[in-house]
Amino acid sequence: MNAPLLELAHIGKQFGGLNALSEVSLHIKRGEIYGLIGPNGAGKTTLFNVITGLYRADAGEFRFAGLRYHHPQPHRLAQAGIARTFQNIRLFANLTALENVMIGRHIRTRSGVFGALLRDAATRAEERACAERARELLRYVGITRPAQTLAKHLSYGEQRRLEIARALATEPLLLALDEPAAGMNATETESLKMLLQDIRATGITVLLIEHDVKLIMGLCDRVAVLDYGRKIAEGVPDEVRGDPAVIAAYLGNDDE
Amino acid sequence: MKSGRFTKKNGLFVLQLGAVLLLPFITDALLGRGWVRIVDFAMLYIMLALGLNIVVGYAGLLDLGYIAFFAVGAYCFALTGSPHLALAFPQLFPAGLHLSFWQVVPLSALLAGGFGVLLGAPTLRLRGDYLAIVTLGFGEIIRIFLNNLNAPINLTNGPQGISLIDPIAVAGVSLNAGEEILGITFPSVHLYFYLFLAFTALVIFVSHRLEKSRIGRAWMAIREDEIAATAMGINTRNLKLLAFAMGAMFGGVSGTLFAGFQGFVSPESFSLMESVMVLCMVVLGGMGNIRGVILGGVLLALLPEILRHGIVPLQQALFGRTVIDPEGLRMLLFGTALIAVMLYRPAGLWPSRVRRSELEADEPESTI
């Protein structure tokens, strides 16, 4: 139980000659909300993509839920229990809200081609349960529009929430959110914060990249700061806030 | 109130079914037997278009070589259902293999499905235009192979093609001869119509079931956003291969029907233009929507025939001679229609989802 859920050791990633990440080590404990901050171009999204398997790390070690992964494929990691959202919303735009969440259930359901063709009792029951769970999740994240609304017709805030619902549908151990509050107004951010606290209360660990420092500071148990692909600080928000390196790199230095 | 609506719906369905069942007789009476044959070909195109719809419409993989699977199915029956194998392997098959149609159907479905995987496997990382180029190449490779595999062993008989393919027999009745059932004479083309209708119905059923399933949703997720789909745990490799295989199977089966119907196959039936035609049926009709694809198939299969039979007499009447060759006109009209559809109805003539979003407002039970 005390073993960390996610452990990264000496992760490195290069793009051409650019060291996007170097020697990044961190661990995320079960049940915490872990924040990842840093100025633009610091490597947050790169690290995020390494964690979710979209990028292959060039160096380092990756452990999730006690298992070590070499060059994990994204769909394997999703099956292992990492679900994510995207900085630029990536919903299945021409499918309905309900279908988006049902697709999240893909790895937790089983029926194949023969099930689809025969539509036997087991398949029908699975479909029903899948749709039912999807509707629950839509309600849970606070989407009150008809479930048949196309994802592209939802409002911006609803689309962000739908991404969270879709990620939750995969029954993750770790929910990784890439700037979930981007473009949200204060009210929306506040209700997002409540939603994330709710999610954590159900036992899901949350990893958060965010620009909104207030949100990070008010929500996260621990925070890591990246700058130029390196981790320059880690700790509880108050500690990090006072760290001179962080102040210099992120919160603005005296030149400004 | 509700039951009244349902009986009306059922009544409409019975009416439509009756119209479809009587179609060959109506066509025969109004337009002549030649047109029944044209309708038969239209059914083959519908099957092809529905097969391609799985690959292009559901999984979003642009395939420009789809006709290759049609060719695989056609040659599968041509080789196993004609005396031709006796030429290639006189010792092994002194009189040819002569498998029955019902044995060949699963065989060609499997073979075409295998070719689908063969095409899919190396193209998994490709998308959009790059995938289109590779699949186009694949389609041409198959055609060129068929054209040239008459030496050193005469497997395909080259450009001459294979003739004398056994007619399809259903319950011991050869469809090539007319048949009298319950006092009604069914000519050969009518019998083939009903066979094709049965297969088309099966293809529609399979498409529909797949569309509304976990597999179909996963395909559409890949179509909409492949990266998001993998992030949701969807194994895009397996599902893409499955889409290629399923689509190819439909193509293979309709190829087998084609070979039995024609009694003759040759490589020129499987040109790139045919792939483009089938793709246009899918795109024009409405990608991903079964009804749209059927509409596209009907329109594009019948249009050239209507032109052929309508334009020449029209020109004769107007100018006393044929000014424009109907074949050239076909391409002109076809291109114009395609541009018009892409400009004014980019999602196709009968796009999917439109109905659903229209119905949304008055469907209170779907609210959450």
HSE (side-chain half, CA atoms, 13 Å) at A30:
13
* Domains (range + CATH), chain A: 1-73+209-256 (3.40.50.300)
B246 touches chain A (CB under 8 A): yes
Long-range CB contacts (within 8 A, 24+) of A50-55: A50/A8, A50/A11, A50/A13, A50/A21, A51/A6, A51/A8, A51/A82, A51/A176, A51/A207, A52/A77, A52/A82, A52/A84, A52/A176, A52/B231, A53/A77, A53/A82, A53/B230, A54/B227, A54/B230, A54/B231, A55/A13
Average pLDDT over residues B287-303: 90
Q: Which residue of B has its CA nearest to A135?
A: B368
Asked if B217 lies within 8 A of A99 by C-beta distance, the reply is yes
Cα-flanking dihedrals φ and ψ of residue B345, to 5°? Answer: -135, 70
Q: How far is CA A184 from CA A157, A181, A217, B173, in A?
A: 7, 5, 17, 70
Checking B125-133 for CB contacts under 8 A at 24+ apart, the result is: B127/B61, B127/B226, B128/B62, B129/B62, B131/B61, B131/B62, B131/B63, B132/B62, B132/B63, B132/B64, B133/B64
Rounded to two decimals, the ipTM of the complex is 0.92
**Residue B358 binned pLDDT confidence (cut-offs 50, 70, 90):** very low
The answer to whether A90 touches B228, Cβ cutoff 8 Å, is: yes
- Chain B contact present for A124, CB below 8 A: no
Asked if the Cβ–Cβ distance from B231 to A84 is below 8 Å, we say: yes
**Digit-coded pLDDT (tens) for B49-66:** 999 999 999 999 999 999
Cα B252 to Cα B272: distance, rounded to the nearest angstrom: 17
A60, A64, A69, A75 alpha-carbon torsion, rounded to 10° = -120
pLDDT tens per residue across span B215-224:
999 999 999 9
Per-residue pLDDT of chain A (256 residues; tens, 9 = 90+): 567 899 999 999 999 888 899 999 999 999 999 999 888 888 899 999 999 999 999 999 999 998 999 888 999 999 999 999 999 999 999 999 999 999 999 999 988 899 899 999 999 999 999 999 999 999 999 999 999 999 999 999 999 999 999 999 999 999 999 999 888 888 989 999 999 999 999 999 999 998 777 888 889 999 999 988 899 989 999 888 888 888 887 656 554 4
pLDDT at B183: 73
Measured between beta carbons, which residues in chain B are less than 8 angstroms from residue A96? 356
A83 and B232 within 8 Å at the Cβ level: the answer is yes
B231/A109 CB distance under 8 A: no
- Cβ-defined contact of A106 to B366 (cutoff 8 Å): no
B347 in contact with chain A, both atoms CB, cutoff 8 A: no
Report the alpha-carbon distance of residue A13 to residue A6 in Å, rounded.
18
Contact A114, A162 (CB under 8 A): no
Q: For residue B30, is pLDDT > 80? A: yes
Model pLDDT for residues A209-231, shown as the tens digit of each residue: 987 778 888 899 999 999 888 99
Q: Quote the mean pLDDT of chain B.
A: 86
Q: In whole angstroms, what is the distance from residue B17 CA to residue B6 CA? A: 16
B234 lies within 8 A of chain A by CB: yes
Nearest to A51 by CA among A16, A108, A13, A103: A13
Catalogue all structural domains in chain B, each as residue range(s) with its CATH number: 19-271 (1.10.3470)
Q: What is the pLDDT of residue A76?
A: 92
